[in-house]
Amino acid sequence: MIHIIIGSEEFLIKEKVRDIFQEIKINTDANLNIIEGKKIDSKVLISKLANMSLFDDKKISLVENYFTNFNGIKKATIITKLFQELANITIKSEIIFAEYPKENKNNFREDFLTAKSPIFKLIPKDLKIKYYELNRLKNFTNNNEIEDWLKKRCNKLSIKIDNLALKELINLKGNNLRSLLNEIKKLNIYVNNANITLKEVKELTIEWKNYNIFPIIDSIVIGKGNTSRNNLNKLLLKGDTSHQEILYRIANQTSQLLRISDIAHLPKNKISEKAHVSGFRLEKIITQAKKGRNYFANNLKIIKKYDIKIKSGEVNEKVALDLIINEFNR
């Protein structure tokens, strides 16, 4: 069997490799043979894949970044011949092709393969192949995918965590899945496998103790982002945050303020119940929400506009952030 794992989320791709390997290991004593596919000659690759051990019941080979060597169908003959050869050696072999995203230094974007990439159209239809396309989970205008993924991971790891604690971690970490999972594992060790609550997140998560970023987001969402540009640039240069994380926080807070503006007429205790915030944070968002529903609804449209431009490759995240700040300030 041949497995091809592609997409824009490296963490999920590597996790899928581990899952496939573990699943195969249940029924066999096979070992994992890792082959660096970058710049490898196809004949050498076939030789490595065909080199069966006399002692292994089944051979499992992981080939990393092989297909990213090729641009479209430029080397169609090589790929076609490769798959013809693979058909002859997959009887006692499991072959996993993992294609990780790579940074394009020309436009500061990540390049990655998709199921629609021309190279995969060359694969013979009778060849048994399983495709897995694992893309970065959505975190720009909502975080449902991240939340669902984390809940499944926690269930699999038998980790108990409150919804509010989970949501707050996502607010703090964005869509950095590796960081999210590591943080949850650390919190689970601290609570000794008990239930993780919002209290532990607030007390133990580093981001909660670092408030530098919050005033910056506050100023951006109410149209005063230009006053915080110097501080924002310092954080970005230090590596304390990323353009993607800032975009996520802006979108998340704008969405929250839009919801608050709809209930701003209610007593504070009712707003607190519905928004799940209290104290100083409650006072702050009530004040910010006075900008009005139309203001935040329009800002969400601006965010969605640049979300589409980022996904289409029209702009990168750095440019999108600058333009969003400018448009919010108008």
pLDDT of residue 72: 47
pLDDT-derived band at 59, boundaries 50, 70, 90: confident
Residue 138 inside a domain? The answer is no
CATH code, domain with 47: 3.40.50.300
Lowest pLDDT segment from 10-19, 149-158, 183-192, 238-247: 238-247
303 pLDDT exceeds 90? yes
> What's the chain's average pLDDT?
81
50 pLDDT exceeds 70? yes
Residue 89 inside a domain? The answer is yes
237 and 256 share one domain: yes
Q: How many percent of the chain have pLDDT more than 90?
A: 20
82 and 226 share one domain: no
213 and 252 share one domain: yes
106 pLDDT exceeds 60? no
Most confidently modeled of 92-96, 113-117, 174-178, 193-197? 193-197
113 and 190 share one domain: no
21 and 148 share one domain: no
Range of the domain at 110: 2-133
52 and 11 share one domain: yes
47 and 148 share one domain: no
Residue 7 inside a domain? The answer is yes
Residue 139 inside a domain? The answer is no
pLDDT of residue 179: 85
56 and 121 share one domain: yes
211 pLDDT exceeds 60? no
Among 82, 113, 133, which residue terminates a domain? Answer: 133
pLDDT-derived band at 108, boundaries 50, 70, 90: very low
Residues 116, 283: Cα–Cα separation, whole Å: 49
Q: What is the pTM of this model?
A: 0.56
pLDDT of residue 167: 86
129 and 246 share one domain: no
Backbone phi, then psi, for 62, in 5-degree steps? -110, 115
pLDDT in tens, 69-80: 665 445 667 777
134 pLDDT exceeds 50? yes
Among 133, 155, 177, which residue terminates a domain? Answer: 133
pLDDT in tens, 139-166: 554 547 888 889 999 999 999 999 999 9
Residue 117 inside a domain? The answer is yes
Residue 70 inside a domain? The answer is yes
281 and 246 share one domain: yes
93 and 159 share one domain: no
If one counts the domains in the chain, the total is: 2
Among 72, 100, 133, which residue terminates a domain? Answer: 133
pLDDT in tens, 15-47: 899 888 888 775 555 667 888 888 788 888 888
Here the tokens at position 45 are: 């690759």
Lowest pLDDT segment from 25-34, 141-150, 247-256, 318-327: 25-34
Residues 305, 310, 315, 321, Cα dihedral to 10°: 70
113 and 154 share one domain: no
Residue 103 inside a domain? The answer is yes
Residue 40 inside a domain? The answer is yes
CATH code, domain with 194: 1.20.272.10
pLDDT in tens, 259-286: 999 988 888 888 887 877 766 678 888 8
Neighbours of 257 (CB within 10 A): 26
